[in-house]
Amino acid sequence: MRTLGRFIFWDFPRASWQYDVMVALILAFVFAVPRNFFKDQPRPAGISMSTDNVFFLEPQILNGTPEGEQRNEKAAQALLDSRYKDRRPVMHVDEMKDSEDKILGYSATVKP
């Protein structure tokens, strides 16, 4: 019983054989358990509200959509489908880029 308590409370000095066994068990668990055991799935593209009239859309939502009315309509549909259920029309959509011109996301401004 004492040995089990020492294993649970990690009461072994470093570089002892008991310590090495515990580390090996942890590594075996990490690498042997399949990914879906933890329900680890990719996160869906998201939308977050910046201010009352501005929403941030992740780049996956509008990738490949040309500028103009089509982009505004697609952004409006994405907002409507999201958890915000915002039915206000989208006025304009701006790209947000980093210093290397990589698109970080889109800023959608809706009518107040």
Domain regions of the chain by residue span: 2-38, 47-110
Spatial distance between the Cα atoms of 11 and 6, rounded to a whole number of angstroms: 5
pLDDT tens digits, 38-87:
777 666 668 777 887 888 888 888 777 777 777 778 887 777 677 667 67
CA distances from 63 to 66, 70, 99 (A): 9, 12, 19
Q: Would the pTM count as exceeding 0.75?
A: no
The residue that leads in pLDDT, 91 or 41, is 91
Residue 91 CA to its chain's centroid (Å) = 27
Mean per-residue pLDDT for 78-103?
81
